[in-house]
Structure 1
Amino acid sequence: MTEMILIYVTCESVKQAKQIARHLMKKRLCACVNIFPNMIPMFFWPPKSGKIDESKEVVLIVKSLEKNYQKIEDEIHKTHSYEVPCVFAIPVKQVAKKYFDWLKAEIK
């Protein structure tokens, strides 16, 4: 297992996703972000209502190191428009050495 993580984040628009991505990258908390537009989430909202809602979202995949997770989550909560943004980390079991070396060199 490496110390690399992928952080999954949902956003309301490509504009918001790019703003969050640039914010995290300028702080050198991550080395790369992938933006996936046109996702269709289905979820219970409002909380405990039993009502199934759906919308359009954009997914961010933030590539970083485990040591930066809490800082990244805190920055996302500061800049995100959602009341309850979806933010979670996925550990990376294996990664190409050259890619991992590049990633570590780009992050604080």
Structure 2
Amino acid sequence: MGLMEDYIQVLTTVPSEKDGVALARSIASARLAASVQIIGPIRSLYWWRGELRDEQEWQLAIMTTRVLFDTLEVHIKANHSYETPEIIATEITAGSDEYLAWISAETRRIDAS
């Protein structure tokens, strides 16, 4: 197991539960995350193109490793309906040894060297 800073939680939002399930499944199937939690619906108020928007969204909380972030970011952008999707990574500064080891084990892909 690596250092605590080797683990991150990545957040993104999608416009529907169906989109959330599809994106979560594609991320998990590619072993880019050990877990993807779909939270929602949530209400999001945000500025887009000079207009304050008030929309229903679903949030994905993606548990992964820092080394996979760049690949995960490309995957999210390629499979997301938003022009500029939210992609925010937060360092996991503490966690149980067992849980962090599980993230490592589940994100270790066969093609990784």
- TM norm. shorter chain > 0.5: yes
Shift of 1:2: 2.9
Give the Cα–Cα distance (whole angstroms) in 1 for the partners of residues 46 and 102 of structure 2: 37
Taking structure 1 as the reference length, what is the TM-score of the superposition? 0.93
SS of the residue 1:95 aligns to: coil
Question: 1:30-70 CA distances to partner (integer Å, 9 max, x unpaired)?
Answer: 10011101111111122xx2x21110000000000000011
**1:18 equivalent in alignment to 2:21:** yes
Query: Does structure 2 retain, via aligned residues, the 8 Å contact 1:3–1:66?
Result: yes
Partner amino acid for 2:59?
V
Give the aligned partner of residue 52 of structure 2: 52
SS of the residue 1:86 aligns to: coil
Taking structure 2 as the reference length, what is the TM-score of the superposition? 0.89
Query: Does structure 2 retain, via aligned residues, the 8 Å contact 1:36–1:59?
Result: yes
Partner amino acid for 2:39?
F
Unaligned runs of 5+ in 2: 109-113
**1:30 equivalent in alignment to 2:33:** yes
Question: 1:68-103 CA distances to partner (integer Å, 9 max, x unpaired)?
Answer: 011111001001001111111000100100111111
Q: Report matched runs for 1:1-108 at 5 Å.
A: 1-46=4-49, 49=50, 51-108=51-108
Query: Does structure 2 retain, via aligned residues, the 8 Å contact 1:37–1:58?
Result: yes
Structure 1 runs of 4+ with >3 Å offset: none
Unaligned runs of 5+ in 1: none
Give the Cα–Cα distance (whole angstroms) in 1 for the partners of residues 65 and 33 of structure 2: 7
Give the Cα–Cα distance (whole angstroms) in 1 for the partners of residues 89 and 60 of structure 2: 12
SS of the residue 1:83 aligns to: coil
